[in-house]
Structure 1
Amino acid sequence: MTNIAGINIPDSRLALEAQEILKEHGSDLLWNHSNRVYLFGAIQGKKAKKSFDAELLYVSALFHDLGLTKKFSSVDKRFEVDGANAARQFLALHHIDEQSIQLVWDAIALHTTIGIAEHKEHEVGLLYAGVGLDVMGDGYDDLTADERNAVLNAFPRDQFKQKILPAFFEGFKHKPETTFGNIKSDVCALFIPNYKPKNFCDCVLHSPWSE
């Protein structure tokens, strides 16, 4: 079992098959990012003395961005939900219990939702924390330089800052309306000229109610 920065990377049959799915349908960018997300989340969980199921957290990390890929992208759902649905199907095929499946589904579906995930089960909160650290640097100083370097040596960033936003957009440019009400709307605003997102206030004021 590979150990990086004091964290074991699961090598169960479930974990290895999840790895193969990401390798087949994802990219080097998503592979490295997803593994860093797991490690960063697990390191933060260990430091906070939180109990968590490493296998479920790892599968959640491997699937969390699969909704951006052609294989798993729907025409009308948020990419987070597409990834969560893919994980649900994968886990069901392996006869994982419903409670665990729901936990993984929630972790993936909520990984970009600010102010919610960190108040749910530890696996949900740690996936969110791992994503936040890798993408935006949230909690950067909570890890030592040695811990950060160990993770990056195993799973390099390779100009991640410059590559991840186009990768996000590529995953939902065919359905920008699905970013309404979430932070990925900012990605659409960056790449779509004169982008005007749907507005909640307009939805209220222009509803079909007469009063």
Structure 2
Amino acid sequence: MSKTIAGIIIPDSKIALEAADLLREYGSELLWNHSHRVYLFAEIQGQRAGTKADSELLYISALFHDLGLTKKYSSPDKRFEVDGANAARQFLQLHQVDDASIRLVWDAIALHTTLGIAEHKEPEVALLYAGVGLDVMGVRYEDLTEAMREEVLAAFPRNQFKQKILPAFLEGFKHKPETTFGNIKADVCELLIPGYQSPNFCECVLHSPWKE
């Protein structure tokens, strides 16, 4: 793996390498490449906006952001984003990282699919969200030069990412589709689980047990 890609240095501290080892062991090639593209796109967008984040914390956040989809870290009843955030918190606590940094990483991972909130928080949180949005949905795709795209994809190929990522999402929470209620992953369940219909917030309000 190149140390510098598209002008971005990939952290290679001991803790960063150990986090990468966990993704290699428990993740997949799809998540490995996706997570590294997310980090690179996050840093690139930070440079363009003049926003400085702690690169090591941002990299670890990117490595853990989808680990909640894996069998190793998936809980029976929590959102996968929370599972990934909890795994990162445990990892950082074992490495005696300070509480403030751990909270940043936890928020970045837990909020990386939460529209309208993450982009208004600290740089590590906002940039992880931006990196995910660019890689998954092409948000601000036009801000990257063709040379940047080619260099990132040469190191971490997409390999039919658009066709593979939705089934990969579902695999991570098909045993607990109720955890997607109220968030964008409900769309994945409705698309890929035959007959599944996400609960409707308005119906929950109108059919609550309160007598009016």
Q: CA deviation at 1:23?
A: 0.2
**1:150 pairs with 2:145:** no
Cross-structure match for 2:190:
189
Q: What root-mean-square deviation, in Å, do the aligned CA atoms of Structure 1 and Structure 2 show?
A: 0.8
- Write out aligned runs for 1:28-43 (5 A): 28-43=29-44
Q: CA deviation at 1:194?
A: 1.7
Q: CA deviation at 1:210?
A: 1.4
4+ residue stretches of structure 1 with deviation over 2 A?
none
Q: CA deviation at 1:11?
A: 0.1
- Write out aligned runs for 1:45-194 (5 A): 45-194=46-195
**1:21 pairs with 2:22:** yes
Q: CA deviation at 1:51?
A: 1.2
- TM-score scaled by structure 1? 0.99
Instruction: Supply the AA of the counterpart residue of 1:176.
Output: P
Cross-structure match for 1:206:
207
d(CA) in 2 for partners of 1:133 and 1:202? 33
Q: CA deviation at 1:206?
A: 1.5
Q: CA deviation at 1:196?
A: 1.3
Identity over aligned pairs, percent: 74
Instruction: Supply the AA of the counterpart residue of 1:173.
Output: K
Instruction: Supply the AA of the counterpart residue of 1:4.
Output: I
d(CA) in 2 for partners of 1:201 and 1:158? 40
Structure 2 unaligned spans of 5+: none
**Offset from partner CA, 1:32-52 (integer Å, 9 cap, x none):** 000000000000001111111
Structure 1 unaligned spans of 5+: none
**Offset from partner CA, 1:130-171 (integer Å, 9 cap, x none):** 000000000101111111111000000001011000000000
- Number of equivalences: 211
d(CA) in 2 for partners of 1:168 and 1:51? 30
